[in-house]
Amino acid sequence: MSHHDVDEFDGWEIYPQNLHLSSLDVDDARIAGRISWLAKELFVDKSASKFSFLDQSYTWSRLEICEEHFRKLFTRLRVDPSFLDIVHVFCEKVRPVEEGFNGFFFNHSDQAIWGSLTVNNKDSSYSIGYNVKYVARHGRTTPKDPFSIREVGVYQHYSSLTQKCSWVFLQASEQLQDRLRRTFQHCDDTAPSNQFLLHSMILLSLSEDWRDYLVYLEEEFSMLVDRGFYANIMGPQFEGDVEANYSDIRKLQILTDKLQRLRQILGLNLRLCQRMKDSMEIIQRDPSIAIPGGINSVQTKLNKFLYDQQTSLDRIQTLISRSTGISQLVLNILEIRATEASKQMNVEMQKLTEQGVNENKLMKKLTEQTTQDTKSMMIISLISAIFLPATFLASLFGSNFFVYSQDGNMLTVASNFWIYIVFTTIFSGAAIAFWFLWKQRRVRLPEADDLEMQGRE
C-alpha cells in the first residue's frame, strides 16, 4: 500500500461504522461485529499479512491479510459494506462450502455537495460487487478430474466528482492478475464505459476454460455411453466384449451430479451478467455520468459472455438428459442379466433337487436292505444263542476230564480238571485285555492326528 493521509484511516477499528452510512441502508454495527466474529476464518496474523491482490494461500483458506489491514484498506477505499457478504465466501473451509452462492450488488447514489449555502456540485457514484465462478486446471495428480471449480470476488467504486475508481479483487487467478496489472499500468482513463469494459474482460477471461472442461466431460460421458450401448445383454461372450456393471451406474451418477452442479453455476453466472447489464443501463440514464460511445463495446462483450455461458449450459443440459436414458439402459441390461442368472440358478436348483430325490430313493433302498440284513443277523444270533450252550457242553463233557461209568451210573471228574479252568481263564482274560487295548489305541490315534494338524496350522 502506498502512503496516504492519516485522516483517510480514521475510525478504521470500527469499520464500516466509520463510514457513517444511513441505518436505513445498512446495519453497520452488525457487520462490524461479524467481521470480528469471522476474523479467525477470514484473516491471517498481522506478521503474515501481505497483499496487492487479496489472495488465499490455497482454495478455502484464509485471506492473506490481517484484520487490521483489512479494516484500514476498506476504510481508505470506502468499500460498500454490501461487499462483505461476498468476502465471507472466501473463509477458511470450516463449514459447508457455499458452492451454490453467487452474490451481486449495485448501489447508485446522487449526493449534493454543499458550500456557502448553495449546491456547488453533485457527486454521482456507484458501487458494484460480485463473485463469479469459473473452472480451471488444478495441476494435481488427484483427483482424476483435471479441473476444479474456483471463484473470484470483484469490487469497484466510481465517483463522478473525483473521476476516480477503486478496485478490490479477491482470489484472482495468476493469469487474471497479470492481465489486470498490464491493464492498470497502461490505462489512466477512469470513464465508466472503460470500467465496465474491464468487468466484461474479467468475465470473458474467467470463462476461457469452460469449453475444454466440457470437452473432457463429454469424453468421459461418451465412454460410459459406449459401455451401455455396446455391452452384451447376456454378458461377455467373446474376448474383447464390453462388460457393464453397477460401477458404471455409480460413475454415471457421479458425473450427472457434477453436471447438475455445473448447470447451477452457469445459471448463476448468466444471472450475474444480466444484472450487470441492467446496472449499466441505470448508469446510462444518469446525466451526471458521462457515457462515451465505447459502451457499445461493453454490451458486445457482455453479450458474448452470455452466449458462451448459455452455450455451455445447453451442452450440460443435453448431457444430463442423455445420462437419464443411458442410465436406464444400463439398469435394464443388468436387470435382464439378473433375471437370466436367476432362471439359471432355478434350473440348477431343480437339478440338485432331482438329484437329491434320487439319492433319497437310493438311501431308502439301502435302509431297507440294511433292515433286512439286520433281521437276518438277529435270526443267526438267536440260533447261535440257542446252540452255543449245547455246543459248549458237548465239547466240555466230550473231553477227557469227565468219565462216565455205565456200571455204576456215575460221572467222574478228572483230578487235573483245574488245569482246564486255569488256562481257560488266562486266555479269556488275555483276549479281553488285548481287545480293550486295541480299542483304546483306535480312540487315541485320531486325537493325536488332530493335535498334529493344529500344531502345523
Q: Above 60 in pLDDT, residue 234?
A: no
The answer on pLDDT for 295 being more than 80 is no
Cis peptide before 192 (omega within 30 of 0): no
What is the maximum alpha-carbon separation in the chain?
182
**DSSP letter, residue 88:** G
Query: Which grid cell is 78?
Result: 470506502
Preceding omega of 16 cis (within 30 degrees of 0): yes
**pLDDT at site 304:** 92
Distance of CA 133 to the CA centre of its chain: 22
User: Can you tell me the distance from the alpha carbon of 120 to that of 114, in angstroms, rounded to the nearest whole number?
Assistant: 6
Q: How far is residue 301 CA from its own chain's centroid? A: 38
One-letter identity of residue 253: Q
Give pLDDT tens digits for 304-346.
Answer: 999 999 999 999 999 888 887 777 766 776 677 777 778 888 8
Higher pLDDT, 162 or 290: 162
Burial classification of residue 333, based on how many CB atoms lie within 10 Å of its CB (0-12 exposed, 13-18 middle, 19 or more buried): buried
Alpha carbon dihedral 222, 224, 228, 234, in 10-degree steps, equals: 140
Of all helices (H) and strands (E), which one includes residue 118?
strand 118-137
Between CA 207 and CA 268 the distance in angstroms is: 13
- What would the DSSP string read from start to end of 150-211? EEEEEEEEEETTTTEEEEEEES--HHHHHHHHHHHHS-----HHHHHHHHHHHHHHHTTTHH
Q: Which of 21-25, 60-64, 245-249 has the highest mean pLDDT?
A: 60-64
When pLDDT is averaged across residues 392-398 and rounded to a whole number, the result is 76
What span, in angstroms and rounded, lies between the C-alpha atoms of 54 and 238? Answer: 60
What single letter denotes the amino acid at residue 18?
N
Chain-centre distance for alpha carbon 209: 24
How does DSSP assign 401-420, residue by residue? TEEEETTTTEEEE-TTHHHH
Q: How confident is the model over 71-125, as pLDDT tens digits?
A: 888 888 888 898 988 988 888 776 666 777 888 999 888 765 544 444 445 667 8
Helix extents (H) in 285-294: none
CB 276 within 8 A of CB 128: yes
| Phi, psi dihedrals of residue 106, rounded to the nearest 5° | -140, 115
What the block records as the C-alpha cell of 171 is 482470489
What is the rounded average pLDDT for all residues in the chain? 80
Span between the terminal Cα atoms of the chain, in Å = 76
Percent of the chain scored above 70 by pLDDT?
80
Q: What are phi and psi of 141, to 5 degrees?
A: -80, -25
Domain range list for the chain: 1-98, 400-448
pLDDT digits (tens, 9 = 90+) for 157-192: 888 777 788 889 998 888 888 888 888 776 665 666
- pLDDT above 60: residue 264: yes
- Least Cα distance to 9 among 81, 80, 76, 78 occurs for 76
Residue 426 CA to residue 422 CA, distance in Å, equals: 6
d(CA 16, CA 33): 10
Mean pLDDT of 240-261: 75
List beta partners, residue 87. Answer: none
Cell of 278: 441492467
